[in-house]
Each structure stands twice: as structure tokens, then as C-alpha cells.
């Protein structure tokens, strides 16, 4: 009787299927095909009407990649590295070069740039003269070399980001949105027919509209490798900006004078002013609750 019960129970149990790994599930460089990252979608924002906003300001911040907390923005330097990872600079550049995202000249996103023309202008070849020796009459001989210039993500050491901070009437909490992002590059102006050049500073390469759906889709498909001990389940770049997972300091806030912090404060005073601007945001939020 007990044997009969065991047989009945085994018949009622769902079948256990053991499937061998198919050749299509194995990549040429790994033991499985990585598809989860490419299928990720941007996290949707809560619905917000213009009339729901009771207070708003704009902040400009700088993300310095020299800071240890922000170094995952900078690495890897190779594009891509042997495991397929890309730094944020190469993610933005490749997406721009392929025409997947729009770019602009200004942080207000009012002057669009033609992607193809920008790539041609930036990668314009340099003509250099290389000394190769002397001829039979002891005259110096030179060879003209056309050297194409390529984008180097290692040259991007800072990012400028424009953010909107606001309070909604629904929950009266301080919230923020990333509006525009620009990789900053050390820029030099070279005078024609001379070897002289002057340093212009860290200037934006281009501005990326962070609220644009195509930009968010690109950022969602790439992981930011913030955990060196486990490369599985790393967050997307869309999540990094959505949750502000970076250190940044304020360089400007919206004001009637259109001035930056450096226009009226320098050194330690500029650092304190940057911190005061951020503290003021939380004071405004608390004052609304007190009111």
C-alpha cells in the first residue's frame, strides 16, 4: 500500500526538465549571452504637471573625476575594454557619432549641432612634417604625414551638469531632474601658421539633453561599474543620474545677474558658497513644512 502511495505522489509531481545549454546561449567570449543590459528601459518619472510646481530653481554643477567617489565615470580607458565595458565619455561619443542622440552647443539646449559635421570637424586630420634625414647635398628632408585625430575618452576629466530643483504641491518634497550634461575637455587655440597656442580652459565638448527619451534609452543600456567586487547586477547610467549617485559641487544657481560662483567668490569662499547654495535648498524645503 505504501508503495502505491509513493507511485501516485510521483505521478502527481510536476515533471523536472533538465535542459542542456544550447549553442545559441553561449557567446564567443563568455559562457552565456549577455542580453539583460541591452533590454533595460529607463525608469519612468512620476507624472508632473506645470501647475503642480510651487517652487523651482536651476543649478549648474561640476562632477570632478579626480574625486575617488566619481572615478567610475572615468574608467575603463579603453573603448571598449576586453570585457566590453565603456566609460561614460565613450558611451556618449559613440552614441553621438552613430546619430542615436542629439547634441547642442549650449546648456539651454537651443542651438542644435549636426552630429555628422561635428564628428568630421573634431576628427579632422592634422598635417605634420617629420624629419627623415639628409639628401646627398646635406639638405634636410621632410615627409608630410596626415595623422587623423581620434576622440580620447581619457581626456574627459570633468562633466558639467544642469539640474532643475523643484517642490511639488502634491507632497511638498524637494525633487530634482537632470536637464543637460556636457563632457569637459582641456581646450587650446592654435594660431595659424605658427606653433603657438593658448590654453582656453575646460570647455564643453557638447551638451546632451538628459530628458530626451533617446538619451535615456542609451544610458539605460549601459552599466556603471561601481562595485569592483561583483560585476553582476551593476546599475545603469540612467539610474546613476536619476539617483544622483555622484559627488558634484555647485558652480552657479539661477539669478537675475546670470553670474557664476567664481564671479564673486574664489578659493575657500567659493567652496563655502557652493555648500551654502545646496544647504539653502533643504532650508526652503523645511520652511515649507513649517509654514
Domain assignment of residue 22, yes or no:
no
Domain of 60 in residue numbering reads as: 37-123+151-290
Q: Which of 29-43, 69-83, 169-183, 208-222 has the highest mean pLDDT?
A: 208-222
pLDDT tens readout for residues 110-150: 999 999 999 998 887 655 555 555 555 656 555 555 556 78
pLDDT at 4: 61
Instruction: Give mean pLDDT, residues 195-224.
Output: 92
> What mean pLDDT is predicted for residues 81-86?
78
Per residue in 238-282, pLDDT (tens digit) is: 999 999 999 999 999 999 988 999 999 999 999 999 999 999 998
pLDDT class of 71 with cuts at 50, 70, 90: very high
pTM value > 0.75? yes
Q: Each residue of 161-204: pLDDT tens digit?
A: 999 999 988 878 899 999 999 999 988 777 766 667 788 889 99
Does any domain span residue 177?
A: yes
Q: How confident is the model at residue 45 (pLDDT cuts 50, 70, 90)?
A: confident
- Tally the domains of the chain: 1
- Residue 12 covered by a domain: no
7-32 tens-digit pLDDT: 555 555 555 444 555 555 555 556 66
In a domain, 252, yes or no: yes
Decide if 135 is inside a domain: no
Radius of gyration, alpha carbons of the chain: 27
Distance separating alpha carbons of residues 139 and 117, to the nearest angstrom? 41
Q: Could you tell me if residue 187 is inside a domain?
A: yes
Asked if the structure places residue 110 within a domain, the reply is yes
pLDDT of residue 228: 76
Residue among 54, 57, 1 at smallest CA distance from 289: 54
Amino acid at each position: 500500500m505504501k508503495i502505491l502511495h509513493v507511485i501516485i505522489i510521483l505521478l502527481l509531481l510536476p515533471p523536472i526538465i533538465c535542459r542542456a545549454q544550447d549553442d545559441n546561449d553561449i557567446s564567443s567570449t563568455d559562457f552565456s549571452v549577455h542580453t539583460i543590459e541591452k533590454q533595460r528601459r529607463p525608469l519612468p518619472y512620476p507624472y508632473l504637471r506645470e501647475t503642480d510646481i510651487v517652487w523651482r530653481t536651476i543649478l549648474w554643477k561640476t562632477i570632478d573625476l579626480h574625486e575617488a567617489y566619481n572615478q567610475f565615470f572615468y574608467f575603463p580607458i579603453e573603448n571598449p575594454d576586453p570585457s566590453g565595458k565603456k566609460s561614460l565619455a565613450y558611451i556618449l561619443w559613440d552614441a553621438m557619432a552613430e546619430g542615436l542622440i542629439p547634441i547642442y552647443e549650449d546648456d539651454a539646449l537651443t542651438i542644435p549641432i549636426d552630429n555628422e559635421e561635428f564628428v568630421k570637424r573634431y576628427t579632422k586630420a592634422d598635417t605634420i612634417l617629420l624629419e627623415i634625414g639628409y639628401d646627398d647635398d646635406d639638405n634636410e628632408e621632410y615627409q608630410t604625414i596626415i595623422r587623423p585625430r581620434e576622440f580620447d575618452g581619457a581626456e574627459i576629466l570633468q562633466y558639467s551638469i544642469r539640474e532643475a530643483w523643484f517642490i511639488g504641491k502634491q507632497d511638498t518634497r524637494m525633487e530634482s531632474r537632470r536637464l543637460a550634461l556636457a563632457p569637459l575637455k582641456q581646450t587650446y587655440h592654435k594660431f595659424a601658421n605658427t606653433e603657438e597656442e593658448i590654453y582656453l580652459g575646460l570647455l564643453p565638448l557638447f551638451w546632451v539633453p538628459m530628458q530626451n527619451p533617446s538619451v535615456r534609452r542609451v544610458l539605460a543600456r549601459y552599466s556603471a561599474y561601481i562595485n569592483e567586487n561583483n560585476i553582476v547586477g551593476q546599475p545603469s547610467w540612467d539610474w546613476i543620474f536619476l539617483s544622483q549617485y555622484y559627488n558634484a559641487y555647485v558652480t552657479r544657481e539661477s539669478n537675475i545677474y546670470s553670474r557664476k560662483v567664481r564671479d564673486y567668490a574664489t578659493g575657500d569662499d567659493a567652496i563655502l558658497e557652493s555648500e551654502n547654495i545646496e544647504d539653502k535648498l533643504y532650508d526652503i524645503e523645511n520652511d515649507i513644512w513649517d509654514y
